[in-house]
Amino acid sequence: MAARYRRFAPPAESASDSDDDLGQQSQPIQLPKRKEARGWISEAEWTITIEQNSDVDRLRPPSVVSIFRVPNFLKQSKQLRGGEAAYVPQIISLGPYHHTNPPLPPMDNHKGRALRRVMTRFNINLSNDPNNTDFSSRAKDEILLVEDKIRNTYEEKIDCDGESLALMLSLDGCFILEILRTLGGEKFPVADASSFYEPLFERNRIDYTGFDILNDILMLENQVPLIVLRKILELELNSADNVEKKLFNVLVKSPRSKFYPFRYDMREWSWPPLTAEQSQHLHLLGLLHTLIVSPPCSDAAQTDPNAPDRAWNPVIRIPRAVELTNAGIKFKPCDGGIKKIKFDEKTATIHLPPINITDYTEVLFRNLIALEVCKPTVVQVTDSKPSVVNYVTCYLSLMDELIDSEEDVAVLRKSDIITNYLGSEAEVAELLNGLCSGVTMSRRDLFAETLKRPVNEHYRSKFKVWSAEFVKEHFSSPWRSLALAGAILALLLTVVQTIFSIFSVYKP
């Protein structure tokens, strides 16, 4: 049988041989280019060309990739107040994506000082160990042992050899740990620390510069796999025991931690339950996403994301906060993260997690949205139909619906839902209105059934709205309540007097 033909051309050069090791990454797929001599190739040739260019070693399980480049449509959003600065590090580059950025290398000096501080901790913990060896060499060797896992975590090919990658990540990991320790108020464990003085790692200095660095640490393109931080802590502590507890304390449990955007007491929290695969490829932003969706606090019982079973919800919107308040609906802070958002029909109360709005809120939430765009969460809604749920995006979309102006922000502030450290309430409204701009919402709205539908039913109930308006009109202040009570009492007395007058007239 004659071969079928497609109008495609083979590549100008043959594809290079690929490494058989699935852990190694290869060049991006190159589609065939047109040849000058002829414009037709057989389907068999086309198939072989595609298979060669695809590089089988590039086909990693999607679940292991967790550090992505932010899509251009997010970087080019018109609502992006600071331009690409929300996604591109401005002070410190971490990991391979921005390692060669021209404006950032001067911070490498601080990375070296961070390494020196970690080495000091290492030497203190190993002071009685006769096998004490150079920390940087051991850190490099430990990271090399998990090189394949690290490379697979990044979406793009990392163009450097294993030793260079290990040295780069060991420096970056030490820097992250020391910055977080300083932000958390942890003291340097040396009695005479004058010889280790570094202004960047001093508490009185970090308040001015550390949180700008924190912005960069939270960016998706600037992530370092947590497995690197684990390896450094294992060396520092000279033990693999309690490493996750120590890492969790450094990252989020410090009372001065600025990572977590919601106002919860995190002192009793513990490392969240993760699969082995998640633990191997998780990073700081991903850990923060897990804690925002399902914080491991004692009263945060997990809600079933599949109930009620509406895999493809129609678009449901709710009125703004001012209108809901006028209809008698109240707002109350809740514990338990995004999954605990709900509407209590008995008390007509919307329960929302209390949130701090700061100068760093935009960078944090924009990068969490970017993470959900690149790596959406898939839940099994039915036995046969999985569905995508973007938890943070759904939450921010809900806040966008509730807030249209500074009056709505004022309602949520008075209800202790929003604490504003940003400035004016108009700025808060502008920020929350712009976060989801240009983002395509998933078809499954997390709050469609637990909040939006019952809220709309309550809002459209004329009797409930009239009752709420009556209460607001006559009981909004003590004086109005007293005036109404006095009027009712006067009316009752008038009625009683009238009745007695009637009886006195007809009395025999």
* 3-class SS string, 154-209: ECCCCCCCHHHHHHHHHHHHHHHHHHHHHHCCCCCCCCCCHHHCCHHHCHHHHHHH
Note the Cα 5 to chain centre separation in Å. Answer: 49
Tens digit of each residue's pLDDT, the chain (508 residues): 444 444 434 444 444 443 444 344 444 444 444 444 445 556 666 666 655 555 544 556 777 889 999 998 888 876 677 678 889 998 899 999 998 877 776 777 888 888 888 888 777 665 555 455 678 888 899 999 999 999 999 999 898 999 999 999 999 999 999 888 887 777 766 655 555 566 677 666 666 676 788 889 999 999 999 999 999 988 888 777 777 777 777 777 655 556 778 877 666 666 666 666 666 678 989 988 888 887 765 344 344 444 444 545 567 899 999 999 988 899 999 887 888 899 998 999 999 999 999 888 999 999 999 999 998 877 765 555 667 788 999 999 999 999 999 999 999 999 999 999 988 999 999 999 989 877 877 667 888 888 999 999 888 875 556 665 656 565 556 766 677 677 777 788 787 777 777 766 665 5
The domain segmentation of the chain, as residue ranges, is 5-59, 72-263+273-289, 321-464, 477-505
Contacts of 457 by beta carbon, 8 Å cutoff, 6+ apart: none
Is the distance from CB of 313 to CB of 443 less than 8 angstroms?
yes
Is the distance from CB of 153 to CB of 279 less than 8 angstroms?
no
Task: Say what the pLDDT of residue 488 is.
Answer: 78
Per DSSP, the three-state class of 233 is helix
Strands 377-380 and 355-357: unpaired
* Alpha-carbon gap, residue 448 to 314, rounded angstroms: 8
Task: Say what the pLDDT of residue 455 is.
Answer: 92
Task: Say what the pLDDT of residue 23 is.
Answer: 41
* Alpha-carbon gap, residue 181 to 220, rounded angstroms: 21
Residue 44, CB-side half-sphere exposure with 13 Å CA sphere: 4
Task: Say what the pLDDT of residue 279 is.
Answer: 67
